Amino acid sequence: MIPYGKHYIDEDDIQAVTDVLRSGSLTQGPMVEKFEKAIAKYVGAKYAVAVSSGTAGLHIAALAAGIGPGDSLITSPMSFVASANTALYVGAKPVFSDIDNATINLSPNILKNTLLNHSNARAVIPVHFAGLACDMAEIKKVADKSNILIIEDAAHALGAKYPNGQRVGCCSHSLMTVFSFHPVKAIAAGEGGMVTTNDESIYHELLRLRSHGINKLSDQYQIPEQAEENGVSCPWYYEMQELGFNYRITDIQCGLALSQLNKLEKFLIRRRDLVRKYDEAFLELPNCRPAQSSGRDISGHHIYVLRIDFKKLKMSRAELMSMLKESNVGTQVHYIPLPAHPYYRNLGFVPEDYPNALDYYNEALTIPLFYEMTDNQQQLVINTFKELLK
């Protein structure tokens, strides 16, 4: 079976993990800071805070931004549930703003109208779908006019660039950016995430929230008299200054992620080559087209999605997926629109209110794309689609 996505692990990665296991520091050791500095340098941000998952990163990013009860947080209806759940985690109201049909990303023009109806919006979380960066310059203009913050959901987009050449994660258009290191993402840490920012106060807040709300770095003690005994500093003393979480990542994971980061450019080059071949092959097929066509040289290419007109094909998506599976071609759907989930329906959301997202969903099919995919495997996928779609 050729899966839709797959991580790649080589002997260097295994050795990196082994080295950590032999180092004596399994967690809260030097590898975490080393990985944070490497990511910050790679994307061009001043600060980076590693966490246990991308979801954890979104959660503490929203808290650090001061989002809470009485606020609305806007995001795309076409994403994994964590993007919208972030609002609920902090007691805010989730709001969806429809996507652009050509990019599957948050539409800046639709965002303008969404903001007209939500004067209490405090922040927006644009999602860089499939690794293609949103039009952040336009989104920033819209957000600035309404005085709202931006937290980028870049779970798909490590290694991606904006049209001006800056890397996603540099935070030139946002307060924070959040990455994921789940195995099917650009690099794997097993599980893990990262929040980047250029704001020093936000950086300090993220560090506290990651670890139970305990003071870090140069934070001032709130009860300084307890930090000394007879004028001598108490080496054990620390303070929980706010409610935080155990969202720490381990040295084991960071050792693996650092090794993976060294191969990221190689991963990206191969993914772009595979995408180029897919794009050429599917130009010939009726009732079928790539979901995204722009920014091919700057996308992170987390997944490859086709839009298929199943009505004209006179075949359901489930039937096609079943036939593909019989030919050893694995597929998936990214994603069910968030307003269509029972939980969000029960909150009063209606998927038909987001026609672009719904139209996309009705046609979407994710096909195999991963670094280790061979030319023969890709050709098998292409040939199978040509046979079935004709």
Look at residue 312 in the predicted model and tell me its pLDDT.
94
Position 366 in a domain: yes
Q: Would you say residue 33 has pLDDT above 90?
A: yes
- End of a domain among 261, 279, 306? 261
Look at residue 374 in the predicted model and tell me its pLDDT.
98
- Taking the C-alpha atoms of residue 343 and residue 66, their distance in angstroms, rounded to an integer, is 25
Mean pLDDT of the chain: 97
Residue range 157-180: average pLDDT? 98
pLDDT for 283-337, tens place per residue? 989 999 999 999 999 999 999 999 999 999 999 999 999 999 999 999 999 999 9
CATH number at residue 139: 3.40.640.10
For the chain, how many structural domains are there in total?
2
Q: Residue 39 belongs to what domain range?
A: 11-261
Residue range 95-122: average pLDDT? 97
Q: Would you say residue 254 has pLDDT above 90?
A: yes
Looking at the structure, do residues 178 and 223 belong to the same domain, yes or no? yes
CA 362 from chain center: how many Å? 23
Here the tokens at position 10 are 């080589």
Look at residue 46 in the predicted model and tell me its pLDDT.
98
Q: Would you say residue 137 has pLDDT above 90?
A: yes
Are 68 and 288 within 8 A, CB to CB? no
Position 3 in a domain: no
Are 72 and 125 within 8 A, CB to CB? no
* Three-state DSSP state, 208: helix
Q: Please choose, from the candidates 390, 368, 388, 374, the residue with its C-alpha nearest in 3D space to the C-alpha of residue 184.
A: 368
Looking at the structure, do residues 230 and 318 belong to the same domain, yes or no? no
Burial 239-254 (b: 16+ CB within 10 A, else e): bebeebbebebbbbbb
Position 90 in a domain: yes
Looking at the structure, do residues 212 and 139 belong to the same domain, yes or no? yes
Here the tokens at position 266 are 């190689």
Q: Would you say residue 250 has pLDDT above 90?
A: yes
Are 73 and 94 within 8 A, CB to CB? yes
Q: Would you say residue 106 has pLDDT above 90?
A: yes
Q: How many CB atoms lie within 10 A of CB 284?
A: 10
Position 244 in a domain: yes
- End of a domain among 229, 261, 293? 261
Position 21 in a domain: yes
Looking at the structure, do residues 184 and 89 belong to the same domain, yes or no? yes
- Taking the C-alpha atoms of residue 258 and residue 189, their distance in angstroms, rounded to an integer, is 9
Residue range 74-89: average pLDDT? 98
- Taking the C-alpha atoms of residue 29 and residue 22, their distance in angstroms, rounded to an integer, is 13
Position 6 in a domain: no
